[in-house]
Every structure is written in C-alpha cells, then in structure tokens.
Amino acid sequence: MEQKLIQKKGFTTSSYELKKDGLFITRNSPSNSIEEEISYEEITNKVVRETSRQTFYIFITILFAIGSLLPLFDGSIVGFIVFLIISIVFIILFRTSIKKTVHLYLNSNKVITIFANVPDTKTVDDFLDLLNKTVKAYLIKKFVPLDKDLPIEPQLNSLKWLWDNNYIDEQQFKDYKAELLNKKDKTEIGF
C-alpha cells in the first residue's frame, strides 16, 4: 500500500504522507502553501464521513422546470427550450456540487478533512486503513513496552488509555496488565 495520498482538486494539491512519528501534510494553492506534521499521538480513531450538497440548485431547477411550461401556454417552443436548458444546467451544477469528505479528528479538537473520492474511493480508503494501522502500531510500540523499574500506575494508565481508545482489545489489555503486575512481583534483590 502507498504511504502517501495525493489529492488534486481545482487549483489545490494536498499531500498526506505517513512518516516515522506522524502524518506529514502539505497543501499548495495559488494563494498559499501549508506544511504541517501531526504526531500519531494526536490522531484519534474518530472518523466521520460526510456528503454535502448545494440543495438550492435543486430548488432553482424546479422553478425553471415549472417555468418552462409557461411559454408552452403562449405557444412559444423556443421559450420552453430555453427554460429547459437552464434547468439542465442547474441539475449539472447540483451534481458537481456534491462533495464527499472524510473528517479525521485530533485530540486538540482540530479536524483534518480529506476528499473521500479523490483520486478514487478505494485509494483513499486504503490510505485511511494504513493510517489507522500505523497509528495503532506506533502507539502500541510506544506505550506497551513495560518496564519493571518505572512506577506501575502510569504504565497501567497508558494500557487503560490504549484499551479505552480501541488500540488494544480487552484480552490484550488483560495480558499486558498481567505481564506488568508479574514483572513487579518478580523483582529480585541480589547480592
């Protein structure tokens, strides 16, 4: 799977790349350029998919479609065709106004918005799946290595946080907890 997602829409190019410690985002448009790296710890597993539409185009289409009937009463086929063409234009505008996005939530209450179908839905879904796996692996690697020389409470809190946020399942939580508690019990004092 590709570790980089590139999206081009209009005059804006956005790039999302998985790096060692975080998601690196660049966004270039004619008016500005942004580069930002977001730590994997900052990325939550809350994802919201949204489809938005400009519904006023439908309203205008209906008005022109009904209005196209008025010239027919006067016997004007040209007026009918003009109103019908305008209705078709607004239907096309409605179709092009449909925007599918994916919102990735961060711990800081910020949101990263990605187009759900640019370049295509499968590519975006594959990238989001890889991002989720990468974040999970990163967090487990960072917080699960248990150390008998460190206080037990912060380590248990880290395990609990991983479990509460669905990065580890209940069985993994129990196994890691038992391992941590066993390491604490088996501290040896030797001479």
- Domain positions in the chain are 1-49+101-141, 56-97, 144-185
* pTM of the predicted protein model: 0.76
CA dist., res. 79 & res. 81, Å (int): 5
Residues of the chain with pLDDT under 70: 1-2, 183-191
Beta partners for 103? 48, 113
β-sheet with 33-39: strand ranges across:
4-9, 12-18, 22-28, 33-39
Instruction: Tell me how crowded residue 31 is: count the other CB atoms within 10 A of its CB.
Output: 7
**pLDDT at position 191, please?**
45
Per residue in 97-110, pLDDT tens? 899 999 999 999 89
For 70-98, what is each residue's pLDDT tens digit? 888 888 899 899 999 999 999 999 998 89
pLDDT of the residue at 99 = 93
Cα-based distances in Å from 112 to 59, 105, 129: 31, 6, 15
Q: Which residues contact 74 (CB under 8 A, 6 or more apart)?
A: none
Half-sphere exposure at residue 32, Cβ-oriented, CA atoms within 13 angstroms: 2
> How far apart are alpha carbons 114 and 112 in whole angstroms?
7
**Token reading at 171:** 């069985």
Q: What is the pLDDT of residue 23?
A: 97
Tokens read off for 134: 């990468």
R_g of the chain computed on alpha carbons: 27
Domain 1-49+101-141 listed as CATH 2.60.120:
no
- Rounded Cα distance between 129 and 24, Å, is 16
The CA-based angle 77-75-63, given to 5 degrees, is: 65
User: Which one-letter DSSP state was computed for residue 17?
Assistant: E
pLDDT at 135: 95
